[in-house]
Amino acid sequence: MLDPEVCERARIGRDRRYDGRFFSGVRTTRIYCRPVCPVRPAQGKNVQFYATAAAAEVAGFRPCLRCRPEAAPFSPAWLGSRTTVQRALRLIHDGALDQASVDDLAERLGIGSRHLDRLFQRHLGASPLQVARTLRVQRAKRLLDQTRLPMLEIAARAGFTSLRRFNTVFAEVYRRTPSDVRRLAPRVGQAPKKKRPG
């Protein structure tokens, strides 16, 4: 819950500690601002406080062009390029690169594929395709460990386009075939065998 007195003091004092924690909607202008807005503060009787920019917009206010509420701390613009990478990761995790290309993914994000690759290298140290490959192998490994599904179905569920590709990539990553890894895993529903003492 927002304390109006605390918010009012922060707004009048342009207290940076509260930037992103609330927004001020000015009834006379129908504009909402961050607490650090450089514009002369409106009279308190004309101000309403909101916990989020979305709440201020739902109430009929539009964002201030001077203090740019979209760039406030805790907002996507404040997080910068990390937000784009996080969005891309969610899409990749949901299979965005299993059947589509990096160009398609970049288009969904509203940026170029080269820029997307640069962001991934900067924040993750790997390309989108490398990240997608790792996620596929991880999915396949979980399925190998936790199910008795046939290899073809594991490959499909993990996001590989063919069984051959699955076997090749899995062997590159684990230095073992999927069948070898499955043999080493405990049987589904059984506890791992205990080693004999001595």
Rounded to whole angstroms, the Cα distance separating 102 from 112 reads 9
User: Of the residues 36, 47, 53, 64, which is catalytic?
Assistant: 64
CA 110 to chain centre: 15
pLDDT of residue 77: 61
User: Of the residues 7, 10, 33, 102, which is catalytic?
Assistant: 33
pLDDT of residue 134: 87
* Other CB atoms within 10 A of residue 147 CB: 13
User: Of the residues 7, 10, 37, 140, which is catalytic?
Assistant: 37
pLDDT of residue 29: 96
pLDDT of residue 198: 43
pLDDT of residue 70: 80
pLDDT of residue 76: 59
Distance set, CA 132 to CA 69, 92, 127, 129 (Å): 34, 6, 9, 5
pLDDT of residue 126: 87
Judge contact between 123 and 101, C-beta under 8 A: no
Judge contact between 25 and 59, C-beta under 8 A: yes
No. of helices (H) and no. of strands (E), the chain: 11, 4
Is 7 a residue of the active site? no
User: Of the residues 26, 31, 67, 88, which is catalytic?
Assistant: 67
For residue 127, give the DSSP letter. Answer: -
Is 67 a residue of the active site? yes
Give me the residues of the chain with pLDDT under 50, please. 190-198
